[in-house]
Amino acid sequence: MSITGVRKVSIQKNHSIKSSWISERSTIEDSQSFLFRENPVYKPFRYGFAYEIWETQQRMHWLPEEVSIYNDVRDWKLVLTDQERNLLTHIFRFFTQSDIEVGGCYTGYYLRIFQPTEVKMMLVSFANMETVHIAAYAYLLDSLGIPEVEYEAFLQYKEMKDKWDYMKRFKNKFTLRDLIVTLVVYAAFVEGLQLFASFSMLLNFPRFNKMKGMGQIVTWSIRDETLHVHSLLKLFYTILQEHPGVWTEAMKAEVEFIGKTIVSHEEAFIDLAFEQGPIEGLTPEMVKGYIHYIADRRFEQLFMKPVYHVTKNPLEWIDPLLSGIEYTNFFENRATEYTKSATQGSWDDTFAKLDRENAKNLSFG
């Protein structure tokens, strides 16, 4: 066997499958995994966790118009400092576009690859929530009177365009290696770090009784993105289980380089956002320290060594919301009082189950 060759082994209960020799350079068609093969019937599910996650996402559904931002308009005009408005404007310029790229990864890439109905249902539900996020951020911008020309203003800023260009390079190749890299990059470093860096800056405002409607939109978005990160990592772990040995040291090195590049883009963007100076309760150094802290956590979730060696979250106030394996009480108590009758208990149950499964998967080398 070659040094990159691995033996395909099925772990799907009650579904026999022929093993085959594959490597990280194999195409998706070379794999015998049921993840890449259409199931001719709806049930029995081959990946029941995906249906459970789809169900959870549906119960978490929300729409922008459910948020009152009347007071945000007042804050924007009368309360915020020039530095605060400038910081928010820079974040707003790219925030909508960022979720457009994330949604495009679901619809234009993942859905072309993953075939089981229950997995497609999960991915489609995630893509749908990205459209809600896009509409919600646009709803906020439009309500604040920010002109539509700002939706394309990000192209004029190197710090934003570099982020955009880099995100787009991972969605056009279809070897097993490319799929794994795209999956972990978007899960761990786009949805799991890039978006959360902006979330942390936005959530600083409600701490001081400013922009509370924006804060509500952000907390609901965090709830969704946390589910997405958990679930895409579960999909990643499933691929590793079905293709033992495919997560090579060479791939880890590539992902480390990509992760560090994305962090460097975020550092440049943070400097741009704070170009007029710190704001109440937050400095650029604090946000950079936070993304280093989150980056190390993401590397560890990918069975890799930490890079930045930041062991303490510099934004202690945000720790119960965004760090750890996940603080599920956040979804029930901290983020919002918004619930639907069918939702009670489902977030805790689902995240607890995913946490147990993810912890079990940490035994991979």
H/E run at residue 22: strand 21-23
Is 150 annotated as ligand-binding?
A: no
Distance of alpha carbon 247 from alpha carbon 281, whole angstroms:
41
Asked if pLDDT for residue 4 goes beyond 80, the answer is: no
Asked if pLDDT for residue 106 goes beyond 90, the answer is: yes
Q: How much is the pLDDT for 7?
A: 32
Phi, psi for residue 42 in degrees, rounded to 5: -70, -45
* Angle CA 152–155–160, to nearest 5: 110
Is 292 annotated as ligand-binding?
A: no
Q: How much is the pLDDT for 153?
A: 84
Is 191 annotated as ligand-binding?
A: yes
Distance of alpha carbon 23 from alpha carbon 244, whole angstroms:
10
The three-class DSSP label of residue 266 is helix
Q: Determine contact, residues 304/184, Cβ cutoff 8 Å.
A: no
Distance of alpha carbon 70 from alpha carbon 51, whole angstroms:
38
H/E run at residue 249: helix 249-273
Is 228 annotated as ligand-binding?
A: yes
Is 130 annotated as ligand-binding?
A: yes
Question: 28-355, superfamily in CATH?
Answer: Ribonucleotide Reductase, subunit A (1.10.620.20)
Residue that the structure tokens 């949805």 belong to: 191
Distance of alpha carbon 321 from alpha carbon 313, whole angstroms:
12
Q: Determine contact, residues 351/231, Cβ cutoff 8 Å.
A: no
Phi, psi for residue 2 in degrees, rounded to 5: -70, 165
Distance of alpha carbon 7 from alpha carbon 351, whole angstroms:
31
Is 133 annotated as ligand-binding?
A: yes
Q: What is the DSSP string of 154-172?
A: GGG-HHHHHHHHHHGGGSS
pLDDT in tens, 336-347: 333 343 344 444
pLDDT in tens, 30-53: 788 999 998 888 999 999 999 999
Active site residues: 137
Q: How much is the pLDDT for 221?
A: 95
